[in-house]
Chain A
């Protein structure tokens, strides 16, 4: 069980708000498209804070200008991986940015087991910390 005030993993832009409806997600996607960003759908069953590379559900949609297309991809991903974490990410190719500029979670597993903190006592009072995803104790694809 996750004990932070939201009871869930709080990565992304909107984890402290009630889950966004598809209509609300569409508005965010349109905001990004109007700024020239390219949207991408990514999913994972290992949401470790340092797990940078979630799986890509297809390539970033560079030439897509219609939010409905992004929602279609998202819903296809939800159908394929209903019990995994899915996030939408927007890429900005502007010189001196060239990075992700929006990112929010749009699908979660039914239960979120969260993480444990493993402490290894070392020299003096120093402790080495490992953040352990409970979910990853099982093999990929069988986690939730």
Chain B
């Protein structure tokens, strides 16, 4: 192994040719990460015959300064600072051929306040690198020094609650259905009924922008009539996430400006608009007292498979830094992918002031959030009133529960669906606060409330038995006695 170690003699190190990455200085088993270093945990699957340590060094190299051959121009720079350093490699427990690799990055590698720059390094070329069959960024520790260059959520969940005057319970939402085809006028009807019935928010779907059946201005105008009418009918602040996603930044700004002009408390963006657009809109939202709802459309293409891509916990951290107020983070009990513990891990990185290492939830690093505002997680997709006790138990108060089908599909209509959800929610929060063990006694709490609330009874009769119990593809791999430091 000695001839594979780092070459310290400068003349040899920089003579033209091809060296192993570990020889070039991208592997240092003795390296102690600095408080100002960014630390990444990659899950790598080296090609057959590729040594895992060399593969880890290659990841460090390709995500920082390395190119495939030695370049003399390195010697014009303080190149040791710029080399990321892989400092630990361990087999993934129970999965042959996969390894966890820890890599540290000096703070000089990244531009201040730019997620685009961070991602271009950390998930740039390295993910197409041939010596690896697959690679996944599992988790990231962002140093406080770098974190402080980001402004974070424009509103944050605390101020959002103050603006909405809603405290001590999860918020309730619903996505307007059908996703496509409703005219503006028909669409606004669903908004009005849902909000008047008791929901706090209604939501545009991620693929509602400005299609032939409904121009965006028409949607915004009718939706805001529904929102204001429902607000007057209930005495509550109400909102509807107006999706301002468009083809260009100019379109997005134009739509957001109109939403503001109409008095909307919230706008919505799809993740697919990209990091720079998200950060631009976070700035816009800060200037315009706006809550930003982020729909994670597209994330499943790179977050779902355990062996390749980026874990959603990393995406959630980047989005909190980039500046969104709401983030879809999964339901664990609904129709979309999500192991309950792993999903709780996503919630924690959205809402914690300090996230402690928690291997069962897939959290590999302590993360000091340095007072960065908190993101409100959103549970959406195939959930219904009959799961209220599970949802409250899993996620607590600071979450938006979105019942789309579970509101609009109610046999007695949209208002009745909203009533069922709001009654189930309030009854469950009240019972929990009274000391009832809702995990076991939750169904009984719901049954009791259904005795005086017919819409809830109808909802439970229709959906009470529906569950989505499929094996999850993305659960945490951790050793029972962790050696992770």
Which A residues form the contact surface with B (CB < 8 A)?
2-6, 9-11, 13-18, 20, 24, 27-28, 31, 47-50, 52, 89-90, 95-104, 114-117, 125-129, 131-132
Contact = CB atoms under 8 A, between A and B. Distances in A.
Nearest to A116: B232
A14 B435 CA distance: 16
Interface of B: 158, 161-162, 165, 167-169, 196-198, 217, 221, 224-225, 228-229, 231-237, 261-263, 353, 371, 374, 415-416, 419, 422-423, 426-427, 429-430, 433-435, 449, 452, 455
Contact of B168 (A9, A102, A125, A131): A102
A27 B224 contact: no
Contact of A16 (B225, B416, B423): B423
- Ranked 3 nearest A-B pairs via Cβ: A9-B235, A102-B168, A129-B228
15 contacts: A5-B196, A10-B235, A13-B167, A13-B430, A14-B426, A17-B423, A27-B434, A28-B434, A49-B235, A95-B371, A99-B158, A100-B161, A104-B168, A116-B232, A126-B262
Contact of B158 (A50, A98, A127): A98
Majority DSSP secondary structure for residues of B touching A: helix
Majority DSSP secondary structure for residues of A touching B: loop
Contact of A117 (B228, B237, B262, B374): B228
Contact of B167 (A5, A16, A101, A126): A101
B433 A129 contact: no
Q: Which of B196, B224, B233 has the most chain A CB atoms closer than 10 A to its own CB?
A: B233
Contacts of B419: 5, 16
Nearest to A89: B167
A104 to B, nearest CB: 7
B165 A49 contact: yes
A5 B165 contact: no
Contact of B232 (A99, A103, A131): A131
Contacts of A10: 198, 234-236, 422
Contacts of B371: 95-96
A97 B161 CA distance: 11
A12 B353 CA distance: 26
Contact of B434 (A31, A50, A102): A31
